[in-house]
Amino acid sequence: MPTSATSPTARACPVGRVEAVYGDQLPGEGERLHARFAAALEADPSLAEPGREAIEAAHHWYGARDAARALTSAWLAAAQTRQSAAHAERLALLGRILQLWDQVPDAAQRIGADHPGVLEEAISTAGLAGDNQRGLAFVNAVLKEIDAEAEPARVALMLTKRSRFKRFLGRSGDTEDLCEALTLVPAGVSASVRAQVLLLLARFGYTAKQRAFGEEALELARQAGDTVTEVNVLLTLAIGTAAPGYQAASGSAELGLIAEARALAVRAGDWEALMRAAILESHLLEGAGEHERAAEVARQGMRDAEANGLARGSGTFLAGNLAEPLIALGRWDEALEMVERALELSPSPLNRSALRMRQVSIAVARGNIEAAAEALADAGRALSDAQHEDQCHLPLAELQTATRLAADAPAAALAEAAGVVDHNDLSRAAPLYAWPLLVTLAHAGLAALRGAKGGQEEALRDRAVALLERLRITAEKLAAFGPMQRAYQLTFTAQSQTASLLRARTGPDVSSSAPPTSPTAARAGWDPASPTAARAAWDETAAAWEGLGQPYSTAIALLRAAEAALADGNREDAGERLRRAAPLGDRLGARPLGDEIVSLARRARISLTDGTAEPDPGRLGLTDREFEVLRLVAAGRSNREIAAELFISAKTASVHVSNILAKLGVGSRGEAAARAYGSRLFDAR
């Protein structure tokens, strides 16, 4: 078989062909063969795959152990990969240049860049590739080579990059780096660099001082004509305007600032800024309970991230932002697919922690305790070295308590909850994260009250009462912004009503009726509640969650309203609420909730199948995810195209299609499409 570089086989795949031959050569012979291939590629670039000419030549010069040519060809190849947004490959090439640098005395002259300049290229590329660990190492290296007195703006810029990498890695010292950088660039040194430093100091805009930093940064960026920094300042001002509620409905001023920033970023071709815009917009929309819109923005952001080589960094962050509204909407299988696909990209520790926490929340709700514990442990490890941030650590504490409860360990969950209150001033925390945590901690207290039957359990009951009282005081100080936070606030209020009922009785059976006359409740400062008031509170809560389109939270509130109705002696109202709750839990696969609904109905002799719950016509037994796949099948999409559209693997798409064919009782994709259209399935939905 011919092995010449000009043979048809070599022309089709020169790298693969030389590697096959190279494996049979002695070391010296292999190096000479690499050199021949490299020379042939430089003489006739058409031998290589279009767009990879310099990359393949760099590969062979490196294999030939020609340090000088390997270095220069790697520099050319790095420039070529910049055009294709192949950030990981470009980072590897820049790493090779740095590795070869000391072997080539005139390296700087050969490529037209000094060693710090190559390091700076590697720093930017590491950020784009999501490799924050290497980025931090490169920054530390370049700071050893440049002088703050001679080049203050350059040093300040590197300090801002180090601050970012530290933040992404959860390391301390990021703010100190920014403060040092600001001293190096007074306004007369570099308006652009000072604006970039101020931008990071203005992060999130919590205080008047930080907002002042942002306003100065915007003025300097516009003065310097620095569109990239101007875009990022607008985004920072948007999140600052949204603070402390971190929610913004469609048409708000915050989203207006993001729209302005996005338009500038598009004109500048700044994909990093566009990713940040997608992250912030989806975050604020989700905070406002606009789940569908938040999911739409995050999904488009993921597509843009993938198209521009940012899937591992911004893409995995957006995967978490997409999974969150999907979970709220009850599209749990779809959310899990997003998360699993993102985790395959080896995201940064903070992104991995967020993704794993999404898995925990679904696993807990479905009663998969082992899976929840495993994902929770990984999320905790990812945050082990990170500074405390409400958006990271409060959800982790919430899930740690919820997992303990799901494991049927009310005493352990109560201890976990008390520890959270001991170590966090939740009245000063961001309400977006504090309210869900308060509700879960109160759930732990209620579970302990339900399980306390006197005797040795009296101490557990007292600890539960003490925890619930502390939570009540905290809740009174905590603001609630937007419909979702108000729904959590309503949930906590209803929990307080239930707690009062439970403490007023000696037994744990909430379906029994007893007057709230306990002296314990009065001593704790809680207002006695009637079952009627508790039912009204839970009904209001259920309506709030239903209005937000959150089936799981709705079902829980309906269950609690049914309990209160039974405590009030009203089986008819209880049955109506249980029959509404049961299909919601079943559809989600929320087995623990379903079991609780069935158990309460059985004890109260209430039928869940008396025909009052209407069946869902037009679903044909399909899950929401299968419905989405069928829609794409009917549109003529292949499994690979379905996978790309839904951000899942082709194998997962194939499994969905097989399940759909089985449920519809058809033998082909065409028959499935015909059945869907014949049943007017898409019209019904």
Nearest to 5 by CA among 35, 29, 27, 26: 35
394 burial via Cβ count (<10 Å: 0-12, 13-18, 19+):
buried
What's the pLDDT score for residue 309? 86
Cα separation, 578 vs 572, in Å, equals 10
Angle at 301 between CA 299 and CA 305, to 5 degrees: 120
Cα separation, 96 vs 361, in Å, equals 43
What's the pLDDT score for residue 508? 37
Q: Decide if 71 contacts 100 (C-beta within 8 A).
A: yes
3 burial via Cβ count (<10 Å: 0-12, 13-18, 19+):
middle
Does a cis peptide bond (omega within 30 degrees of 0) precede residue 244?
yes
Q: How far is CA 29 from CA 13, 34, 65, 357, 396, in A?
A: 20, 9, 12, 53, 57
Quote the distance between the C-alpha of residue 488 and its chain's center: 21
Q: Decide if 47 contacts 41 (C-beta within 8 A).
A: yes
Residue 74 makes CB contacts below 8 A (sequence gap 6+) with: 58, 61, 62, 93, 94, 96, 97, 100
667: confidence class by pLDDT, cuts 50, 70, 90: confident
What's the pLDDT score for residue 31? 73
Q: Hey, how many other C-beta atoms are within 10 angstroms of the C-beta on 344?
A: 10
pTM of the model: 0.73
Q: What is the pLDDT of residues 189-240, one digit of tens each?
A: 888 899 989 988 987 556 788 888 989 999 999 988 999 889 999 998 898 8
Residue 57 has pLDDT above 80, yes or no: no
Length of the chain: 685
Nearest to 329 by CA among 57, 546, 615: 546
What's the pLDDT score for residue 615? 42
Residue 184 makes CB contacts below 8 A (sequence gap 6+) with: 148, 152, 153, 155, 156, 159
Find the mean pLDDT for residues 121-150. Answer: 92
Q: What is the pLDDT of residues 276-320, one digit of tens each?
A: 999 999 999 999 999 999 999 999 999 999 988 889 889 999 999
> 222 in the Ramachandran plot: left (φ > 0), alpha (ψ -120 to 50) or beta?
alpha
What's the pLDDT score for residue 170? 78
What's the pLDDT score for residue 683? 65
Q: How far is CA 635 from CA 639, 649, 673, 674, 679, in A?
A: 12, 19, 8, 11, 16
529: confidence class by pLDDT, cuts 50, 70, 90: low
Greater confidence, 527 or 56? 56
Find the mean pLDDT for residues 120-139. Answer: 92
Give the N- to C-terminal CA distance of the chain in Å, as an integer. 60
Find the mean pLDDT for residues 114-132. Answer: 91
Angle at 568 between CA 564 and CA 569, to 5 degrees: 120
What's the pLDDT score for residue 617? 45
Residue 523 makes CB contacts below 8 A (sequence gap 6+) with: none
Q: What is the average pLDDT value for the chain, to the nearest integer?
A: 85
Domain segments of the chain as ranges: 624-684
Report the run of H or E that residue 443 belongs to, with start and end: helix 431-451
Cα separation, 675 vs 681, in Å, equals 8
28 burial via Cβ count (<10 Å: 0-12, 13-18, 19+):
exposed
Q: What is the pLDDT of residues 541-567, one digit of tens each?
A: 999 999 999 999 999 999 999 999 998
Nearest to 160 by CA among 232, 209, 225, 99: 232
Greater confidence, 410 or 19? 410
Residue 84 has pLDDT above 70, yes or no: no
How many percent of the chain have pLDDT more than 90?
54
612: confidence class by pLDDT, cuts 50, 70, 90: very low
495: confidence class by pLDDT, cuts 50, 70, 90: very high
CATH topology of domain 624-684: Arc Repressor Mutant, subunit A (1.10.10)
- DSSP string computed for 232-277: HHHHHHHHHHHTTTT---TT-HHHHHHHHHHHHHHHHT-HHHHHHH
